Amino acid sequence: MMVSRKTTHKNSGDIVVEWGKEIANLAPTVWSLSERDVDPVFRRLSFLSDALSQQPATTLDGALAQCVRLVCEIDELVSWTGDEARDEVAAGRDRALGLAYSIMRVLEKATGRHREELGGTWSLSPGDDPFQALRTDS
C-alpha cells in the first residue's frame, strides 16, 4: 500500500530551513546594492552560511538546505589549495560533489522542495550538477 505524503513548506520548525530561505531571498539583492549597502548583506550571508554548518537540521527540508551549502563549500576547496596538491584536491572535490548532488536530488524528491528555494540559485554554479539531465523541474 502506497502512502501519500502531503508536503507543506509554511513553517517547518527547523531554523536551518529559515536560514536557507533567507539566503535565497537575500543573495539576489547583492548585485543591485551600492558599495556602502552591500557590506552588511555580505556579513549576513557569511553568518547564515556559517550558522547552517553549526546547527543540526531537524527536517528533510533542513537537510536539503545544508546539502546546498555543502556543495558550495566543497566547490570552494580547490581555491584554498596550494599548487602542489591542486589536482588531487580537484579530483576529490569532483567525487564529493557527485555524492552531494546525488543526496540533494533525493532530498528534493522527498521534500517536494527545490534547491533554489534554499539558496541554491546563489551558491551553486550552473552546470556543475552531474545529474542535471535527471531533474524533472529544469
Q: What is the mean pLDDT of the chain?
A: 81
What are 106-120's pLDDT values in tens digits?
Answer: 898 999 998 888 877
Burial of residue 94, with CB atoms counted within 10 A of its CB: 0-12 exposed, 13-18 middle, 19 or more buried: middle
- Supply the pLDDT for residue 17: 93
- Supply the pLDDT for residue 5: 37
- Supply the pLDDT for residue 10: 53
**pLDDT class of 7 with cuts at 50, 70, 90:** very low
Please say if the pLDDT value at position 9 is more than 90: no
Answer yes or no: are the C-beta atoms of 125 and 75 closer than 8 Å: yes
- Best CA proximity match to 129, nearest among 74, 54, 87: 74
- Supply the pLDDT for residue 122: 66
Over its C-alpha atoms, the chain yields an Rg (Å, rounded) of 16
Cell digits for 33?
A: 546594492
What are 32-80's pLDDT values in tens digits?
Answer: 888 888 999 999 999 998 898 888 889 999 999 999 888 888 888 877 7
How many angstroms separate the first and last alpha carbons of the chain?
31
Answer yes or no: are the C-beta atoms of 15 and 55 closer than 8 Å: yes
CA distances from 22 to 4, 27, 44 (A): 29, 8, 10
Q: Is 36 helix (H, G, I), strand (E, B) or coil?
A: helix
